[in-house]
Amino acid sequence: MPQESQFPQAMIISPEFEGKRVDRFLKKRYPKLGQGLLQKFLRNRKITRDGKKLAANDRLEAGDTLELWRSFEEFEVTEREAQEKLERRKRSRGFEKKFRPIFEDEYLVALNKSAGQVVHPAQNHHHGDTLLDLLMLHLPQAYQKESPYRPGFVHRLDQGTSGILIAAKTREAARQLEASFREQQVKKVYLTLVKGSLKKNSGTISLEIGRKNKASGKTKYWAVGGKRSQNVVFPKPGSTAGSKNTPQDNFKEAITRYEVLEKFKGLSLLKVDLGTGRTHQIRVHFSAIGHPVIGDGDYGDKALNQKFRQQFQLERLFLHAHEIEFPHPSDGTMTRLTAPLPFKLKNVIKELKKRV
């Protein structure tokens, strides 16, 4: 347990929690913390934001720093407790709602991931609460000590993005699928809603993407074109930011193709496919050209995101991995899988159509 001199302990809010209520965020992070005790801690400034008092219904912003002025370890769930909870969940219908295969054979399983679901355990996401844990429960025999291969996911999908995610069930299938991704034989199609009306009904964004680690510990991704030190198009389109704010290395080619499916007042629904697979590529590219993705707490328009939270109760990124086409690892036959747009995103589009 941390000593008193080690407080406050800082917690940086990541983009996927943009717009979340303080009490709901803390209850998820500390499941054993009751609402009454949480209210007391907030009143007594045992939890503050950037040094200021918080209310339970305050909304979080990406990059916020929460200061914890006491230990909260007693309110965390241990790995054993998480595993027991997961076993109970699998015996209930809740498991079926979280683990949603859209295709499975002896070589692979493809899931329809929900927005907010974490794929792998990490510092703030414990065992028992990730898709990998659910995969282990789905294929228990494959995770025994004597198993020659443990199934795993062969590509990435951001926590805030929903849609298709593929796991290989054999070592050879993993090798084949990873090679297909590496050699760009896989076509991934996303659906996204962005700010503004694009001038062209289809086009290609070709801007290199690099990253910069901020002092807070967060990583930002940047898109650039032309001379890197003179034509930084993110975070502000057309910016002429100097070298102090511009990452000078680790830039990689990034190509994003899009087609406008439908236009609304000040908004565009797009079909997007990637020529490359850089981290946050779609979000960074569209932000760079002045059309950020709705609900993006890191690269988006905060005022517009707030409007969507109030009018549509949308507290997620409007980005969905809708379709994937790849050579099947068994014989190379091109296989196409589709994950329908989630209900909440469908409902947003339905409501927008009423307002045209």
What residues are annotated to the active site?
158
Q: HSE, CB side, 13 Å, CA atoms: give it for residue 119.
A: 19
Q: What amino acid occupies position 152?
A: G
Residue 284 to residues 13, 133, 211, 344, Cα–Cα distance (Å): 19, 30, 11, 23
Cβ atoms of residues 17 and 62 within 8 Å: yes
Helical spans, DSSP H, in the chain: 22-29, 35-43, 79-90, 93-98, 131-138, 171-182, 281-288, 302-312, 343-354
- Residues 157, 155: Cα–Cα separation, whole Å: 7
Longest C-alpha distance within the chain, in Å? 63
Q: What amino acid occupies position 301?
A: D
- Residues 169, 185: Cα–Cα separation, whole Å: 20
Residues 6+ apart with CB under 8 A from 276: 184, 252, 253, 254, 255
Rg, C-alpha atoms of the chain: 22
| Strands 319-327 vs 162-168: parallel, antiparallel or unpaired | parallel
Q: Please choose, from the candidates 286, 317, 150, 313, the residue with its C-alpha nearest in 3D space to the C-alpha of residue 221.
A: 286
Cβ atoms of residues 86 and 128 within 8 Å: yes
Helical spans, DSSP H, in 116-183: 131-138, 171-182
